[in-house]
Structure formats: structure tokens, C-alpha cells
């Protein structure tokens, strides 16, 4: 549609020299043009928050769609070159500059017949009814997708559980190996101490409790050997005396080697701080005293042997 609007110009009452009805008409025209100027200024500012007073005048109410609606608007302003109308010319030009800043986004209005609109609405209703009658298709697809997601999550959790079980078994096996290693280490640490105790307590056990540790047959043979050694020493046969002296020297050397081995084991254990408790310290002290006694006895036997050899030579 095309709308042509002829607006009256604003004129001063003193210049027109009008009165009565014409004066009232001029005042209404000036008020409507003032409201139009305010509306144009609000639209040209571009701020959407500003309120546009279309309802303040009948003129702006009629031109609402043309000024800020879906329309293309053209405004023609006329001015006078006379010096007597300079003020009106300035106001008209400022109004034209403000109107130039107003922008409208016009779109072509599509005129649709009632028959086409009715067919379009009927198709839309039929489509909605079909969707309501067959909800299984959409719901089934949604359920399948949800089921697939749940299955994927279950598989992921199963794999994580298997991995955690494997890590647990590995950690348990490592703990078992460490426990066995500690047990073997503890048994190996106790073996040298037991060897030292056996080496040092061998002679004392023979002398103190021969009935409990040595069987009767071995005790009788050992007694026979001692009796033979005493007889050979007291006998006058020099060869028998020499054999008895050699036997005594051999026994002394064996005892010395055992004592030296015991001393080396004790030295290693003490330096490695494996015998740190009170009982172990007491046992070590006892063993050392026994070793000193054995060394003293060995010295006495050596003196006796040397004396016997000298007597034999004499």
C-alpha cells in the first residue's frame, strides 16, 4: 500500500494574525508537529530502551507503522529562502536531519489465501496426530540409545574391575615374596650365631654332660682313647710316647682352628650389629671367656708337650 500524507507547517500566530477558530487549529497543528519531532528524535537515537510516545498525538498514532514499522518511508521538507523565515528554515532542516537517521527494516508481506492456509494447517494437524498415535518409534530409538550407553558403561566398569583385580594379585604376590625373603634372611642371620654356639659349647658339653649328648658307645671309645694315651705317656716305650704327643698336638691344632673360626664369626656379627639385644651380648661374653680358657689350656698343653719332648730327649 502507498500512503501520501501532507503535513501542515508550523507558523507563529503573531505572524499570521489569526484569531478564533483558525487560531485554535494552528495551536493543535503546532502541538502535533512537536510530538512528531519528539518521536523522530527518539527513533533516530537508536536506543531500544527509550519510550517512543506514539500515543501523545493523533498524528503520530496514525503514522506509527510508517515511522517505526514494516514500511519504507520518504519525507519531503519544503523551506523558504526569505530572510523573514530563517528560524522556520533552521527548524525544518534539523527535523530533516533527525528523520534521516531513522532506519526501518522493511520486509515484503506475503499474502496467503485462506484455502492455502487451511491446507497448511490441516497437514500440520495430521502430522501431529500421527506422531501421537505412534510414539513407539521415537521412544524405541531413545531406549536403544540409552541401553547402548549403559552397556558401554558396564563394559568399561568390568574392564576396570579386571585391571584392579590384576593389580591386587600382583601386590599380594609381591608381599608374599617380601615376607618369604624376610623369613629367609632371619634364618640366615640366626645360623652364624648357632654355629658359634655349637663350636664353643662342644667342649663344655663333652666335659659337663657327656651322658646327655654323647652315646655310650662313643663315650666308651673316647675313654679307651684317653686311657691309651695315659698308658702311652706312662709307658717306657719311646715310640708310643711320640705317637701320643703327635695325637695331642693334632687335637690342639683342631681346637685352635675351631676357636679362631668362632672368633671370626663373633667379630663379623658384632661389627654388623646383628647381636644388639642383652641376651646375645651375654652369650658373646660367655663365649669369649670360654675361648680364653681354651687358649690358656692350649698353652699349658704345649708347655707339657715341650717338657715331655725334652724328657724324651734326655
Domains and CATH numbers, the chain: 13-101 (1.20.58.980)
pLDDT for res 289? 67
DSSP conformation class of 56:
G
**Is the model's pLDDT at 207 over the cut of 50?**
no
Of residues 252 and 33, more confidence is placed in 33
pLDDT for res 261? 62
SS3 49: coil
pLDDT for res 204? 46
CB contact at 8 A, 64 and 54: yes
pLDDT for res 123? 93
Count of beta carbons in the 10 Å neighbourhood of residue 68: 19
**Is the model's pLDDT at 267 over the cut of 60?**
no
pLDDT for res 282? 61
Question: pLDDT tier at 203 (50, 70, 90 boundaries)?
Answer: very low
pLDDT for res 122? 93
Residue 63 φ/ψ, nearest 5 degrees: -90, 15
Of residues 164 and 219, more confidence is placed in 164
Instruction: Provide the grid cell at 285.
Output: 661374653
Which of the given ranges, 108-112, 163-167, 258-262, 309-313, has the highest pLDDT on average?
Answer: 163-167
**Is the model's pLDDT at 297 over the cut of 50?**
yes
Least confident segment among 42-51, 74-83, 148-157, 215-224: 215-224
| Residue that the C-alpha cell 519528539 belongs to | 38
* Gyration radius from the chain CA atoms: 65
CA dihedral (34, 36, 39, 41) positive or negative: negative
CB contact at 8 A, 284 and 266: yes
> Could you tell me the pTM of the whole model?
0.35
CB contact at 8 A, 263 and 287: no
Over range 136-152, report the average pLDDT: 78
CB contact at 8 A, 209 and 201: no
CB contact at 8 A, 89 and 128: no
Which of the given ranges, 99-108, 283-292, 295-304, has the highest pLDDT on average?
Answer: 99-108
Amino acid at each position: 500500500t502507498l500512503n501520501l500524507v501532507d503535513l501542515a507547517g508550523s507558523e507563529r500566530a503573531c505572524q499570521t494574525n489569526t484569531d478564533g477558530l483558525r487560531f485554535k487549529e494552528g495551536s493543535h497543528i503546532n502541538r502535533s508537529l512537536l510530538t512528531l519531532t519528539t518521536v523522530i528524535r527518539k527513533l533516530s537515537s537508536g536506543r531500544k530502551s527509550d519510550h517512543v510516545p506514539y500515543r501523545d498525538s493523533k498524528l503520530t498514532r496514525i503514522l506509527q507503522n510508517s515511522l517505526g514499522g514494516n514500511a519504507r518511508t520518504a519525507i519531503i521538507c519544503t523551506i523558504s529562502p526569505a530572510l523573514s523565515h530563517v528560524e522556520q528554515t533552521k527548524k525544518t532542516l534539523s527535523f530533516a536531519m533527525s528523520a534521516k537517521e531513522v532506519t526501518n527494516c522493511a520486509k515484503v508481506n506475503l499474502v496467503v489465501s485462506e484455502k492455502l492456509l487451511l491446507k497448511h494447517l490441516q497437514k500440520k494437524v495430521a502430522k501431529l496426530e500421527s506422531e501421537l498415535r505412534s510414539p513407539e518409534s521415537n521412544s524405541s530409538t531413545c531406549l536403544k540409545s540409552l541401553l547402548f550407553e549403559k552397556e558401554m558403561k558396564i563394559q568399561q566398569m568390568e574392564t576396570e574391575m579386571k585391571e584392579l583385580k590384576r593389580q591386587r594379585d600382583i601386590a599380594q604376590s609381591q608381599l608374599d615374596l617380601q615376607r618369604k625373603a624376610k623369613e629367609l634372611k632371619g634364618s640366615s642371620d640366626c645360623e652364624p650365631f648357632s654355629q658359634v654356639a655349637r663350636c664353643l659349647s662342644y667342649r663344655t658339653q663333652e666335659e659337663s654332660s657327656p651322658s646327655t649328648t654323647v652315646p655310650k658307645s662313643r663315650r666308651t671309645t673316647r675313654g679307651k682313647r684317653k686311657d691309651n694315651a695315659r698308658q702311652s705317656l706312662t709307658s717306657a716305650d719311646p715310640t708310643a710316647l711320640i705317637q701320643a704327643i703327635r695325637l695331642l698336638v693334632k687335637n690342639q691344632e683342631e681346637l685352635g682352628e675351631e676357636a679362631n673360626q668362632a672368633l671370626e664369626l663373633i667379630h663379623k656379627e658384632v661389627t654388623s650389629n646383628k647381636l644388639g639385644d642383652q641376651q646375645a651380648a651375654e652369650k658373646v661374653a660367655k663365649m669369649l671367656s670360654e675361648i680364653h680358657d681354651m687358649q690358656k689350656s692350649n698353652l699349658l698343653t704345649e708347655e707339657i708337650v715341650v717338657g715331655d719332648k725334652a724328657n724324651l730327649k734326655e
